[in-house]
Structure 1
Amino acid sequence: ASGRAAPGRGGRQRSGSSGSAMAEAQDAPGRRGKRPGDEVEEPARHFDTKTTEPVSFFLSSLEELLSWKPDGNGDFNICTVPLAERQPPLHSKRPRTLVCHDMRGGYLEDRFIQGSATRNPYVFYHWRYIDIFVYFSHRTVTIPPVCWTNAAHRNGVLVLGTFITEWTDGEKLCEAFLAAGEEASRAVSEQLARIAQHYCFDGWLVNMENTLSAAAVKNLPPFLRHLTAQVHSAVPGGLVIWYDSVLQNGTLKWQNELNQDNRVFFDACDGLFTNYNWKEEHLERTRALAGPRQTDVYVGVDVFARGDVIGGGFDTNKSLRLIRQHGLSAAIFAPGWVYEHLGEENFLHNENKFWGLLAEYLPTHSICTLPLATSFSLGMGTSRFLDGKVEEAGPWYDLSAQDIQPLYSEHEGRLNTSCCLQDAWCGGSSLRLQGIIPAGEEHVAIRLFSLQMPAPPKLFLTLLYKLEGSNTEFAVALELTTWDSGTCHEGNVTSLPEPNSRHHPRFLPAPPPGLAKLLASCTRGSHGWTSRCYELELQDCSLRDLSLLVSRQQPSLQEMPFSCLLGEVRVLDAASVGAAPPQVQSLSASQLWWQEGPTAEQLSLSLTLRWAFPPGQAGWFRVFSQGVRCRQGQTPPQLLGLAHACLYRAVGLAVPRPAAGQSCRLELLVEPVLHDELPVDPQRWGRLVLIYSAPATGTSRDGH
């Protein structure tokens, strides 16, 4: 294939799923054929101007908001992880927990969509305890970086962006769209709803921290009603929440409660996020006024404890206790205090301590779909592991690669669940379980996940673990509990259920014939990791909890300490295990950008890969380069990175420089990683062959 790209668009070559394509250079994103060093034009906000890596972005003005329209260059910012189902659903009347993330202005290392080599980054992973995640910054339109939406959705949590106006500029902006009449305000609400729909996040926090004119404040409730209706229409389950700031007369005055001065805005949207300087009498009045909508009031808690507050920092539980006593929802603002105030070094320990202190007031959520498969990765690490060994050394950070997270249990010092970055089966971390089997007891059960779903007739379960420390006189296994029911039976109808609805799946030395994929995963323990497979047949049961059972090898009257790492846990519906996976289709390359290489014998190539794969079928994709050949021989496959959508931008790939009259061949591979994490035959991967040659005499070496 040959030919230049049209202005502003990268040309594209297509191949079959296992076919090949040849391509000449096209324009790099944001560069439109310019040489390195030339001024970068739009769409620069979608890509890092130095490297052309895709980045998350915001909108800085009303003009940018109104002129926004979908653009193929922004596809990297689209969340591809559907919002996972969980129980109870958000619309239940149980008090909710909102987390508002505000860290150093936002768009830090989390703006790099394909990850970065950040050491000791901030991560959030206590998703089981919260309902809503707000990404906050002081930009006019804060579009959440897609890595946060991917991680939150994988764990069943909604993500909101922020629409904020502040100071004198905020007054002018509000005058321009609120005081100008219904048509102008509707244009803004429709654009905000379109942006949430396009990038697949779940709505908006609206925060107007400036005085409003009489004309502007008159049109504010209709604007909120229209925005809420538009979001509900465009985003199933979407939300609009109003921050407690402006009063119905246009005055900027924080109330720290729901009252008659701000109720008109609460009535126009899905909820109110109150300011932080409240006392118990504010909560009493709020509850009385909210009536049946009391769980739509999110009482603000500033973890930095600025102003006259009940409690922040490690005393945040004091605020939560009062909020829950009055049946209200909570909005925890800036929990990054743990990272910013206490430092990076012991962050994971301090983070678990912070959320452990709050756990009593944070109702947990249950998973309600299979497969459930996780390697417990936090989306960061000091190395990247695969099959129990280091695949790539060095720090990395990519929240899109965060796995489904468990409950982080702690019981009076006798049991502790934490993250281990030093060793993992896959990704960047494993789950460390430490505790004591009490004197006279045979075992302890450590709850990993709360479940709420009908059990399929047959389950397969897999476990990868590693025993730690000098004491290895204990055994580990998986335990499933079911909800009490007179009809629930294990195995056939004549077998008796175990007491307390506890089920211990049968260990499979080898899985049944015909399940070759599962066979491979049952015998793959290595590097000190042990692999176990189990099966469990149930009739008319509903799953309740998945736990790790730690048992003594020998009876003893002494208490026994234990420590082990979990590398992977999977719960699979046996009926779906044997299904053939789809094939990666239509792999293509576009937006090629050539530069001088790191050595005189090399060139540096950046390009965008796109492909097709059925939505929702893959957890992520692994992208490789292989077989760079100019004369003879080839290099082994090299992992370029992980993709969480059907596109990936390879940046700065060092390839051999062809001699005059010579062609070189580069093969690119895309491996889908399925939700059940069972291996996919390489014949079903995407493959693309790129053939390139030295330019004709007189052609620039840079850019083309």
Structure 2
Amino acid sequence: KLSDLITWAPGNDDINVSRVTLKQRPEWRRTKSADEQHKRDLRINVINDNFEEGASGSNDMELLVRGPDGQINKDGFNPFFADKFGVFQMAIYYKFDGWFINIESNLLGGERTARQLIQWLKYLTQEMHKNIQTFLINRYDSVTTAGQIKYQNILNDKNISFFNVCDGLFTNYWYDKNGPTFSAMAAGQRSRDVYTGIDTYGRGTYGEAIKHGKTSAGIFAPAWTFFEVSGDTFANDRLFWVGSPPGVVSKFLYGYSIGITRWINKSEMLKAMCLLDRRPGVADYVVPKCVPKSTSFYTNFSLGTGHQFFIEGKSMIGLQDWFNLSHQSISPNNLTFQLPRPNSLWWDYTFDTAYNGGTSLAINSSGQFILPFAKLPLYTLSLQFPLQTPLKLSITYLPKQTDLKLSPYIKIESNSINNSTQGQSFITSEGALVPDSANTVQIELVSDFGAVTSQSFTPTNTISRNNGWITSEFILTRSIFRDSSSSTLSGDVTIRNDLVIQELGISLYNLKNPTSHNITRQLLGYVGELSIIPQNTKPDINIEMVQNVEFERKMFDTPDLDELSDEVIFVWGIIRWNVTSTPNQESSTHTHINPNADLLDASVEKQLALTPAVTSLENTFAYYNIYVGISPSSLSTSPDLNELTFLGISDTTQFSICGYGVMKSEVDGLAIWIQGVYEIDGSGVDKTKWGMVWVDLKN
């Protein structure tokens, strides 16, 4: 209820707002869920505010616009809850990008309350924009200016007053084929701020009409594939969003209204349905977004769920389902090769094995001849090649074919390369290189004229991991890429300063018979991690350790079973800890990596180089692994993982132990270990700086 918000303040107990529970979060990790959305460049992390749906009248709306004390200002409303939602309150604390306001009940005060609600929305929008210019306040097409629930299905004079004071309107889906055009006419220059609803059930929806009307689109009930379609949930969801491969019969029905049949009268849709070519998905009509710009990139392909939990290729909890969205990693945004097709390479997620997390990418072949090299695009990037710092390109994979090797490839673009008749605008300090080795990184150099030069480089380091996993690392420097068209009188060539990594994927090398990989469907290997990380040789801080580990709310009990009551003890409690750091002695004089370094002149760079580093610990660790040991060696400062039992993971600086059972006759106590994991590469664990607490079971 809305009244639950009256006493809410950042950091207090759990609350429930409009059927959406927002739990208390520790100060430095409270935005973890939102951060996971941001790194995928999802525009709005919204809360759907259904204050009271389908009721004849709502007291909550009176409370919303009049406040707890009932005092209204000169504009006719009370800003109490607007301030609570927005400015320096919930939206800031939980790091939201916007609010989606959905009021589906008649207003008790009718037109009067509607006028107050309009002023309330105006105030909330203006105040949020003052603090966060990109913040969005969107509203659902429900209550009219008369204070009644009458879905208009378009933007018109009955709801435009709400639209004029906020950032957008999500229309209901009962419009006719001219509805989006009417909405666009009413919105004028803001036509893209109207999100015309598309109902996945097919109720009264005209998808093509949105394109012609030039409004935006909003998808209603995207969980339809889960609730209404039988069979494999993941396969159904992928069929809806990505579509089917060629020649696969669609098992989806295109809705049940007559309106939807008018939408599928295009030739390609009829071909997909009648000639069994393929069923297009949402991705056929939406251009994939580029991975957000950054100075680095990392993914372990985790979906935030799994049937096992893996750390460095080792299953830690056996067959046990888990779910935690904060452990979701960046998924490939190049969907062209996600589905099996004749004579092609393709990828899919697998729950069978992973390197870190619950899932990895399975690389498959469908009758594809690898002669001797093939590539599989995964990500569209826009990553600036650093001016001073080398890049480390890394892949961790598990091969399933002895005569095949996997490695990364990148595509690098320069916007100012001169065209060449042979398409080769780069040379390397080592001379021309070709993909003649299995363990190489493939690089494509692309000019703005489309010229491509392919080169390969041998790995700097190859590491054997647990259970057959292999990590290959490649160090790339800007000096590798020289512009042969800009040579000086002395014969020197210019090092390019405008290089952008625009694509990242997987290379496959066939070491033996060129026709050995042409089976209808064959698993070639798994990819567990892929990263591009600047090589900072001198870190700004030294992580002291996970320290001040405490065991609180201890409780020990024994089972009711007579035969076990004298032998087994169960441990309950909460582990808490913190992290500290000290500035690196050399960090005050080393050059900081700046993503805009190419735009800085020498004087500014020199000034930055002399500026002491100030580093926050807020995101030092992405998460923590929790272990328990019972052997004497587990008390050492650097424990042996083989003698520890994995308990779980934590995104915060606390962890609950719920009934961990041990034999009383075998141990005097438990050594509980906390291990921090860095966010940037998932494997950056400093095994010499653990935190530990001893739980005495004898006293």
The answer as to 2:333 corresponding to 1:407 is yes
State whether residues 437 and 560 of structure 1, in contact with CA within 8 Å, keep that contact through their aligned partners in structure 2.
yes
1:557-580 C-alpha deviation (Å, 9 max, x unpaired): 899456432111111112368776
Q: 1:552: how far off?
A: 4.3
The answer as to 2:285 corresponding to 1:285 is no
The answer as to 2:324 corresponding to 1:366 is no
- The equivalent residue for 2:628 is 625
State whether residues 623 and 671 of structure 1, in contact with CA within 8 Å, keep that contact through their aligned partners in structure 2.
no
The answer as to 2:308 corresponding to 1:380 is no
Q: 1:648: how far off?
A: 2.8
State whether residues 465 and 531 of structure 1, in contact with CA within 8 Å, keep that contact through their aligned partners in structure 2.
yes
- The equivalent residue for 2:506 is 548
The answer as to 2:361 corresponding to 1:464 is no
Q: 1:492: how far off?
A: 5.8
- The equivalent residue for 1:160 is 46
SS of alignment partner, residue 410 of structure 1? helix
Alignment CA distance shift 1:437-1:664 (3 Å) = closer
State whether residues 202 and 237 of structure 1, in contact with CA within 8 Å, keep that contact through their aligned partners in structure 2.
yes
Letter in 2 for 1:639: F
Q: 1:259: how far off?
A: 1.9
- The equivalent residue for 2:476 is 536
- The equivalent residue for 1:452 is 382
State whether residues 310 and 357 of structure 2, in contact with CA within 8 Å, keep that contact through their aligned partners in structure 1.
yes
State whether residues 345 and 366 of structure 2, in contact with CA within 8 Å, keep that contact through their aligned partners in structure 1.
yes
2:573 to 600, 606, 629: 606
Letter in 2 for 1:401: H
Q: TM-score, normalised by structure 2?
A: 0.69
1:503-549 C-alpha deviation (Å, 9 max, x unpaired): 55522253xxxxxxxxxxx3133423333222323342011111222
1:507 to 441, 458, 464: 458
The answer as to 2:175 corresponding to 1:217 is no
What is the distance in 1 between the residues matched to 2:328 and 2:628? 24
Q: 1:241: how far off?
A: 0.9
Q: 1:224: how far off?
A: 0.6
What is the distance in 2 between the residues matched to 1:558 and 1:590? 57
SS of alignment partner, residue 502 of structure 2? strand
The answer as to 2:534 corresponding to 1:573 is yes
Q: 1:293: how far off?
A: 2.2
State whether residues 465 and 568 of structure 1, in contact with CA within 8 Å, keep that contact through their aligned partners in structure 2.
yes
1:251-262 superposed matches below 5 A? 251-262=148-159
What is the distance in 2 between the residues matched to 1:557 and 1:638? 46
Q: 1:216: how far off?
A: 0.5
Alignment CA distance shift 1:389-1:363 (3 Å) = same
- The equivalent residue for 1:244 is 141
State whether residues 621 and 676 of structure 2, in contact with CA within 8 Å, keep that contact through their aligned partners in structure 1.
no
- The equivalent residue for 1:616 is 619
- The equivalent residue for 1:140 is none
- The equivalent residue for 2:660 is 653
- The equivalent residue for 1:186 is 79
- Residue correspondences, number: 549
SS of alignment partner, residue 674 of structure 2? strand
Q: 1:428: how far off?
A: 1.0
1:294-324 C-alpha deviation (Å, 9 max, x unpaired): 322222222233x3224xxxxxxxx2x5434
Letter in 2 for 1:486: S
- The equivalent residue for 1:7 is none
1:49-101 C-alpha deviation (Å, 9 max, x unpaired): xxxxxxxxxxxx121111212335559x9xxxxxxxxxxxxxxxxxxxxxxxx
- The equivalent residue for 1:431 is 361
Letter in 2 for 1:640: L
Letter in 2 for 1:594: M
Q: 1:684: how far off?
A: 2.6
- The equivalent residue for 1:477 is 407
Alignment CA distance shift 1:481-1:220 (3 Å) = same
State whether residues 13 and 24 of structure 2, in contact with CA within 8 Å, keep that contact through their aligned partners in structure 1.
no
Q: 1:438: how far off?
A: 5.8
What is the distance in 1 between the residues matched to 2:31 and 2:233? 23
Q: 1:160: how far off?
A: 0.6
The answer as to 2:331 corresponding to 1:331 is no
State whether residues 98 and 137 of structure 2, in contact with CA within 8 Å, keep that contact through their aligned partners in structure 1.
yes
- The equivalent residue for 1:196 is 91
Letter in 2 for 1:650: I
Letter in 2 for 1:523: I
What is the distance in 2 between the residues matched to 1:415 and 1:154? 28
1:638-690 C-alpha deviation (Å, 9 max, x unpaired): 2221122333333333366699xx98464432323341234332333333344
Q: 1:209: how far off?
A: 0.9
State whether residues 481 and 501 of structure 1, in contact with CA within 8 Å, keep that contact through their aligned partners in structure 2.
no
1:149 to 27, 34, 47: 34
What is the distance in 2 between the residues matched to 1:611 and 1:628? 25
Larger CA Rg, structure 1 vs 2: 2
State whether residues 323 and 329 of structure 1, in contact with CA within 8 Å, keep that contact through their aligned partners in structure 2.
yes
What is the distance in 2 between the residues matched to 1:477 and 1:636? 33
What is the distance in 1 between the residues matched to 2:146 and 2:335? 48
What is the distance in 1 between the residues matched to 2:114 and 2:528? 55
The answer as to 2:103 corresponding to 1:208 is yes
Letter in 2 for 1:309: T
SS of alignment partner, residue 693 of structure 2? strand
What is the distance in 1 between the residues matched to 2:684 and 2:94? 30
SS of alignment partner, residue 58 of structure 2? helix
Q: 1:244: how far off?
A: 0.7
Which structure 2 residue ranges, 5 or more long, are not aligned?
A: 243-280, 419-424, 433-443, 479-495, 581-616
SS of alignment partner, residue 307 of structure 2? strand
1:342 to 224, 229, 235: 229
- The equivalent residue for 2:673 is 668
Which structure 1 residue ranges, 5 or more long, are not aligned?
A: 1-60, 78-101, 115-144, 311-318, 511-521, 695-704
Alignment CA distance shift 1:164-1:574 (3 Å) = same
Q: 1:189: how far off?
A: 0.9
SS of alignment partner, residue 569 of structure 1? strand
- The equivalent residue for 2:486 is none
Cα RMSD (Å) of the superposition?
Answer: 3.9
SS of alignment partner, residue 185 of structure 1? coil
What is the distance in 2 between the residues matched to 1:435 and 1:403? 25
What is the distance in 1 between the residues matched to 2:659 and 2:131? 38
What is the distance in 1 between the residues matched to 2:538 and 2:405? 27
Q: 1:490: how far off?
A: 5.9
Letter in 1 for 2:11: D
Letter in 2 for 1:329: S
Q: 1:337: how far off?
A: 1.8
Alignment CA distance shift 1:295-1:591 (3 Å) = farther
- The equivalent residue for 2:238 is 352
Letter in 1 for 2:195: Y
SS of alignment partner, residue 379 of structure 1? strand
- The equivalent residue for 2:163 is 266
What is the distance in 1 between the residues matched to 2:35 and 2:294? 17
Q: 1:374: how far off?
A: 1.5
What is the distance in 2 between the residues matched to 1:273 and 1:148? 25
Alignment CA distance shift 1:676-1:665 (3 Å) = closer
SS of alignment partner, residue 465 of structure 1? strand
Alignment CA distance shift 1:477-1:554 (3 Å) = same
What is the distance in 1 between the residues matched to 2:393 and 2:370? 30
State whether residues 347 and 363 of structure 2, in contact with CA within 8 Å, keep that contact through their aligned partners in structure 1.
yes
Alignment CA distance shift 1:324-1:502 (3 Å) = farther
- The equivalent residue for 1:23 is none
State percent identity of aligned pairs.
20
- Higher RCO (CA-CA < 8 Å; seq separation 6+): 1
State whether residues 557 and 569 of structure 2, in contact with CA within 8 Å, keep that contact through their aligned partners in structure 1.
yes
Letter in 2 for 1:592: R
What is the distance in 2 between the residues matched to 1:206 and 1:383? 38
- The equivalent residue for 1:638 is 645
What is the distance in 2 between the residues matched to 1:495 and 1:289? 62
- The equivalent residue for 1:32 is none
1:171 to 40, 48, 58: 58
State whether residues 626 and 669 of structure 1, in contact with CA within 8 Å, keep that contact through their aligned partners in structure 2.
no
- The equivalent residue for 1:582 is 543
